[in-house]
Structure formats: C-alpha cells, structure tokens
Structure 1
C-alpha cells in the first residue's frame, strides 16, 4: 500500500487551526440546539430555518401522517363540497354537516333577473294540513334548489308546491326533463346522488320518499319508501328532510317521527341504465317516552335534514329532542346506538349544523314557552362529548310568542349566523356566545336559512325582498350591498352557484338572479 506523505506544520499554524476548529464546534452546537428547539415547538414567528429542508428520512420524533379517514363523514370536509364526483350544491346546505353554501363568484352589486319559472302563472296546488285544505304556491321552507353540473350543462332541480319536481337549465330556465309528478306538495329540498349515479332523492306530502332515475327520457321512479312502512309512528306522513347518501346508504328522517337508514344497492343493468335494490336496514323513533312525558305532546316529527359528523348522525324533532346515533358498526351488521340526548324544550325543526371540532349548532323555536325552553334558550352551541352538560353557550329569543329559530344557522369564520322568526339576524361569536351584531329585516317572519359565500350574506324576508350584506369583517355590523324586491314571502333558502342565485317564493315562481 502506498502511504501518503506526512506534511509537518509549524506550531503557530497548528494552534490557529485548533482554535478555529473549536469555534466551528461551538457555533455548530448552538445552531444544532436552536434547530432542535424549533422542532420541539418553541419556534417564534421569525424563527423559521432558512435554506432547503434537511434531506433524508425525518427524525424519529416527527409525527407520522394520519391514516386516511375511514368513517362516515370526514371532519376535514366541514365547509367543503359534498365529495368530488359531482360538482354542485347537491343537498340542503350542501354536505353531510350542512355547512357548504355554494360557489362564487356572487353578485356584489344589484343583480338582474336571468329568468323566472314559470314565466307566467304559478306553481300552485291544493293541499290539506291539520284538517284545513287550501292553495299552496311556489316553494317554501326549506325548498332550496339543487344546482349541479351534468352532461356539460348546469342543472337546477327542485320540488315545489305544484306537486312536482322540476329539472331546469340554469342558463335559460327551460326544462331539461319533463316534470316528475307526485300526489301532494313538496316542501323540502331534493338530494342529488353525490357518487355520480344519475339518481335523485325526494320526499313529498303524499306519504312517500322516492328514488328517481335521471338517465331515461323522463324522470323515472325506481323505488319509494312509505311513511307507514315502519311502526310505531306519530304525527303525519310528510317528508321535509333532505336525505344524505353516504357509502350506498340513504339516511333520512320523516314526519312519521322515525329516522330511517336504507341500503340502496346502486348499480347498472345490462342496458346501462341505473338500478337500485333498496333495503330498509334500520329505523328508530325520533322520540322517547321521557320526551313525551316532559313535552306533553305527540307532535315529535322529524322535519329537519339529518347531519353526519365522523361516525355519528344527528337530528332533532318538533318536540325539541336532539339525538346522536353512532353508525360505526352498521356496515359490519351492528345496529346504531344512541350516544347523545339533549332536550331543548320546544320545536326544533332547523337542521343541526356541525363544525370541524364536532360542536353542534342548534336553533329552536319558542312556541310552548315552557320552563325548559325559557331556561335553555333558542340559539345553542352544544358539545356532544359532554352529554351530561353539553351547553357551551345559548342565546335567548323570547320577547314574543311564537319566537325563536326556524332557519338553519350558518357558520362563517368565527361566527354563527342565526335568523329569528321575528326578523332579527344575529352574528354570534362561536367561541364565547357573545352577540357581535344584530340587525332587523322589516319583512315580518324570517324562516329562510342564511347563506354566506365569498364574504356575502344572502337572506330573504317575508315581504319578498332578497338582501345581500358584506360580512367580511365579522366584528362590525354587516354592510348592505343591495336589496331587490321579488314579491311573495321568501321562505326557501337560496342556492348560490357560479355567479347566480336560485330561489323560490310563496308568490308562485322560482327566480334566477345574476350579476348585472
């Protein structure tokens, strides 16, 4: 082996090299310590390391990536669209937590009417309610249209008080498919299949909740669930709730006061047409004996749209009972179990809204005026992880009777927005329950659910006026951007999609407003 030559250096040079080496070690040790502290969570706002990230595998202490979510409703999708397979606003308030309100841009200045459907006349029919038969026109609570992309065009689909479901072109307002007729009026919002199957789901006051195919020349009923298919039932046979479809299961509450789960078994036949083979796999009363005793009334229908967060489905009833049922074992054949119970004391028809941390936002009416509703309040934030004492905060609306909340609250940044039947609109601090702002709509009762897209709040009143407010600064009073007189009480919640608003009024028509 050939040896390297040894070079001898003078002593002063060796000393200088020794000192320089010690300085390098000291400085390097300080830098290494600082880097470790930063990774240990002590980083300040300007302490981010400069230069490229270290190469090679992460240190042993680094947190691994969380596994993919395998439950029923991913918390990361709160406020996001209902999946990725179909673009659109597919169900009431857009997704399983009822927190998606549509896609902008939105009209920030006075809009123009793009179309009205029908162009003349009204969407009207006779219907009986509580023994009284009268004419119903247009669309009402909740009545939000579904707006979605299919076959290269934008569809607007809704049920109305003329006993029909309508399928319109969003650009022209003309029919894409013939109307689908039912035996009575339709009050709730339809649901479009989020997994790309050409299917629509809708209830009617005629006793049935239906699955309808959209891939024929005419909309075709494939299956229907009778309100009398389960026992026991209370109240009536209407279906106001907008169903959820998750992993081939339909989840729906009815005014028969029962909650239902249906395995759809979706597929396609030899002819390429969509098929279903539904099986009712679970149902349970939306009430319990304690509620009937405390409430003193059998009006305990489920009129809201169920919400799902992680593995729990939430719903309330017209007697004020809010429940959560664990779905985690359903796919393995285990029946859901109740994990949460809270009684508001009064009619709770507004849908339960769930935020990314699992808190529930509940709006309750003030009709009975009983001790429980006076104590609990009408605008609530609940923590279901504390079932014995879930109230995080509450705000009361009890100046008159009836009072309280009919519209489903909206979550926007750090506030929750509620509107009262008396016409007040409130922005409430989601953490503290402090009322940050409040304004009044002069048009009488307000049942519409507030909608916020692109920092713009849209809300209609019962004088027939649609209002738009700038709410970008949640700490200051909303700034009125525009208001447009439409005519007819606006109970139905607007759908916001790519520059336009779509909504109905009790005057008999559906309106499309767009940027001027």
Structure 2
C-alpha cells in the first residue's frame, strides 16, 4: 500500500527537476491479458446461489440511493458525483462557515487523509427520530455530516453549525478511506480502516440507531494472498440481492450477503453476514491489493489494484470478463460514463513501480470488452523511501455534466516537478486536450464539479499546501484561491452551496460558496 504522509513530514517537499524520456520506464506486460493465464478462486461455492441473483439493471447512478445526500465515495456506483443541489449563480469566493477539530493520534495525527470523503445526508423524519441524534436537532431540514478521521474516530456533525450531532464512534485505528451509509434508507454505516495501530484490523458495520457494532470483517484473511488487512475503499450495496461489494488491500473482492433485517416501526437494524471472497493472481504476483472504491454498471463491477491491473467481473457468474494492465499502481477509483448502453471507464495510473520518474497513463476503456479507446501519458515524479509520496493520478476524475457534457477532467500530482500539479480537461470521445491548468502545488484530493441553475460547471479543488480553489469548468480559469489549512489530501463533498472537506492535521472545514 502507499504509506501516507506522517504529521512530521506533511509540509516537507523537495524542489527538483527531472528530465523525462521513454527510457525511464519499462513496459513488461501487454495491455489486455489472457484470462487463461490468470488464476481465480472463490472462498465458498455454497453461497453462490444467494449472491448471484443479480438483475441485469442492478446498479444505476440515478436510482442507487433513497436518501437525499452523498452516501458513499463519489455518490454511487459510477463514482461520478460528489455534489448534490445547485448554486444560484456564478461563484466568486469561498467563506469558512465553520471548522471542527479532531483529536491528534500519534504519527498520523487527526483530520483526514486520502481519500477521506465525508458522507452527508438529510434523514427522513421517521428515521431521524429513532436515531441517537441530539434532540436539539429536531428540525426536518437537519442535515448530518459523517466524517471518518485519522485519529480513529467517526464524527457526526450538524451541516449548518458544525456542532456535534452525536458522540463519535471510536475505532481506535486511523481511518484513511471514506465512510458509506446504506443507500436503501436503512440506518447502517460502513467503515474501513487504513492502519493497524496494534488493534484489530479490518472493516466494520455499525447501527446508526445506537452506534453499536453489527459486524466486524477481519482483513487478516487466510484465503487472501497478501498480508495487509486495510480497507480504504467504500463499498456498494445492492438493494436487489442484499449484497455488499467491497475491495480489500489483502487483494480480495468481498461479496457479502448481509441478510439485513430492519423494522421501520422500532428502528431496529440487524444483519447476519455471509462472506464470499473472490481471489485472483496474475503472473504469480502475491502482493496485489485494492485501495479504490469498486465501481459498477448493471450487473458488472470494476476495480483496479496497486499493480495496475484493472478487472471487470460479471456479478451474475462471479467470473472475470477481462483484465488489462495500466502500467503502474492505480488507486484512484474508476469512473463510469455510459454511452449508448456501453459503460465506458476513465482511469489513470500513479508513478510508483516505475521508480522516481515515469508517466501517469490516462485511459478511456470500453467496459464490455476491456479495449482501450484512447490513452494519454503525462510525465510525473514520486518520492520513494520510508515515507513514499507518490505522483501521478491519485484523485478520482470528474465527468462533465449539463453544459460541460463531453469533458473528463483529471488531477495529476507531481507533474514534471515534485511540488507541482496539473489539472487537465480532455474530450471524452477523442482524448483531445481541451485545456490545462498548471498548479504550483500538487493535489491528491479529488476535484468536485458544482453546477449553477443554468447548468454551468465550476470546479472546487484543494491542494497539498492547504489552498482551496474555484475554477471555471468551461475553460479552467481560476476564479478564487486562498490558503486555509496546512494540507489537504481528503476529497470534498458538496451539499447545495456548502463544501465539506477535512484537512490534515486536525480539522474538518465547511466552506460556503458565495
């Protein structure tokens, strides 16, 4: 896995230029891999009948959640939206509405790291009144922010004021990933952890009625090949067959039959999970791990791993459709944009296995066949050693919508120089460059697209020096930029005109778009 910045090194950067040539990397693996040379295994065939009952239209971006809000990393199965609502007009500034402090926790501090996106939800009255939310938040317009922290806590805050809406859930291990709320409207929270910290290590499911632990999924799994039990990705929940899909850094794809029981009268939620795991191995590689959040379209699921393998799995058979290679570690979540019934994937690699210098490869992929539609490469750097800090693409891209349909926007770290970054907009059809924005500081944080009432796109971005930015999504023009923190790695979420983004080492910010 990538070891993230410790508190003692978060502001230490090296200024140095590298010269790039095609000899700086060695491509040893063909793009599309022969499935007969890849081994696949499942842990328990007796569970197949209940888990494989997947309708062909299971996963849809528009109908994934019954709740008003952003319930998982980048909003749903396409991983393509982290904002809800629109702003009234073209923005010109950002104002800090509130900030909340987290507790410090050893080497990793507090706040949130990569990916660190909060969830935000406006609970239905009939559900909110059954939860252990502070009674003073009885207004039907109450919106709750749920944010996991590197300090080992999950925080619950009022969107309007930043006041705690209930006590935090203490996990006692640093959490690097993004929480998920059950999209079916059930009061269930899903939380992975990123660092062992001498405690039990894995993935947890909690009741949001009383915050009690419902299930612990141990990442130290004897069925896995890789001995690393972290879960940075956010799961997807299939309402049709009551199955949770989750990738682990131990290299397993988990398909968990939850057997959910929820009584809407009492608010009681219980689960009795049955875990089926899919294991794969490529070229005798024993160290593959999945850090990104799995994406899905219909009855197909897609993910990438830390060796750059990108896989498509048919959920009706749990068999692979195709496997390709994108040259290097791919931690950013894949995004999906359907065109004429074909799910097209957009992805990009880091510079990690290539060494101190290499290329970030950006791709558009046909999700049915694995064929590469177009590919672009950008020179990026990485810092190796005891505290590696990778370059390339760690941020999940933006798919343009409304007036910006046809654009895909990538955020690259350590572009050409160690401290710098690049925001690039490409034509979805051809891969042609539409515009580029040079960034003086690199960013791991995923940019988020925001729209006004006329359908114009604006981009919010935060960087590694603590700056927050607003850009015009049409041409990349910088509208607003200001330093408000030490470092941002976490990805933001937007509810109407409010942006919620945690920082390092110890704050969660709510910014109001003006």
TM-score by length of 2: 0.76
In the alignment, which residue of structure 2 is the partner of 1:266? Answer: 260
Residue number among 221, 234, 239 corresponding to 2:231 in the alignment: 239
Cα offset for 1:399? Answer: 4.7
- Is 1:250 matched with 2:244? yes
User: Quick one: structure 1 residues 325 and 456, their matched pair in 2 at CA, closer, same or farther if it must change by over 3 Å?
Assistant: same
On the 8 A contact 2:327/2:361 being kept in 1, the answer is no
Coordinate RMSD, CA, aligned: 2.1
Find the aligned partners of 1:70 and 1:143 in 2 and give their Cα distance: 31
Find the aligned partners of 2:433 and 2:175 in 1 and give their Cα distance: 35
Cα offset for 1:235? Answer: 4.2
Find the aligned partners of 1:314 and 1:167 in 2 and give their Cα distance: 31
User: Quick one: structure 1 residues 424 and 290, their matched pair in 2 at CA, closer, same or farther if it must change by over 3 Å?
Assistant: same
- Is 1:105 matched with 2:86? yes
- Is 1:91 matched with 2:64? no
SS of the aligned residue for 1:166 comes to strand
Which is bigger in relative contact order (C-alpha 8 A, separation at least 6)? 2
Find the aligned partners of 1:213 and 1:303 in 2 and give their Cα distance: 25
SS of the aligned residue for 2:105 comes to strand
Alignment of 1:25-424 (within 5 A): 70-74=55-59, 77-78=60-61, 80=62, 82-83=64-65, 85-106=66-87, 108-118=91-101, 122-126=102-106, 134-150=107-123, 151=128, 152=140, 153-204=142-193, 205-206=195-196, 207-216=201-210, 219-247=211-239, 248-268=242-262, 272-285=266-279, 287-290=280-283, 292=285, 298-328=286-316, 335-357=317-339, 358-369=343-354, 378-387=361-370, 390-401=371-382, 403-412=391-400, 413-422=405-414, 423-424=421-422
User: Quick one: structure 1 residues 255 and 95, their matched pair in 2 at CA, closer, same or farther if it must change by over 3 Å?
Assistant: same
Higher CA-based Rg? 1
Unaligned runs of 5+ in 1: 1-68, 127-133, 293-297, 329-334
In the alignment, which residue of structure 2 is the partner of 1:457? Answer: 459
Find the aligned partners of 1:269 and 1:410 in 2 and give their Cα distance: 38
Find the aligned partners of 2:484 and 2:264 in 1 and give their Cα distance: 48
On the 8 A contact 2:247/2:291 being kept in 1, the answer is yes
Cα distance per residue 1:255-282 (max 9 Å; x no partner):
1111101111111369824333333342
Find the aligned partners of 1:135 and 1:189 in 2 and give their Cα distance: 16
TM-score by length of 1: 0.75
In the alignment, which residue of structure 2 is the partner of 1:481? Answer: 479
Cα distance per residue 1:438-492 (max 9 Å; x no partner):
112212x311111102011111111101101111x3xxx3122212221121111
SS of the aligned residue for 1:382 comes to strand
Unaligned runs of 5+ in 2: 1-53, 129-139, 383-389, 415-420, 452-456
> How many residues in Structure 1 have an aligned counterpart in Structure 2?
409
SS of the aligned residue for 1:398 comes to strand
User: Quick one: structure 1 residues 91 and 256, their matched pair in 2 at CA, closer, same or farther if it must change by over 3 Å?
Assistant: same
Cα offset for 1:137? Answer: 2.8
Find the aligned partners of 1:484 and 1:192 in 2 and give their Cα distance: 32
User: Quick one: structure 1 residues 270 and 158, their matched pair in 2 at CA, closer, same or farther if it must change by over 3 Å?
Assistant: closer
The structure with the largest helix share of the pair is 1
Find the aligned partners of 1:270 and 1:433 in 2 and give their Cα distance: 49
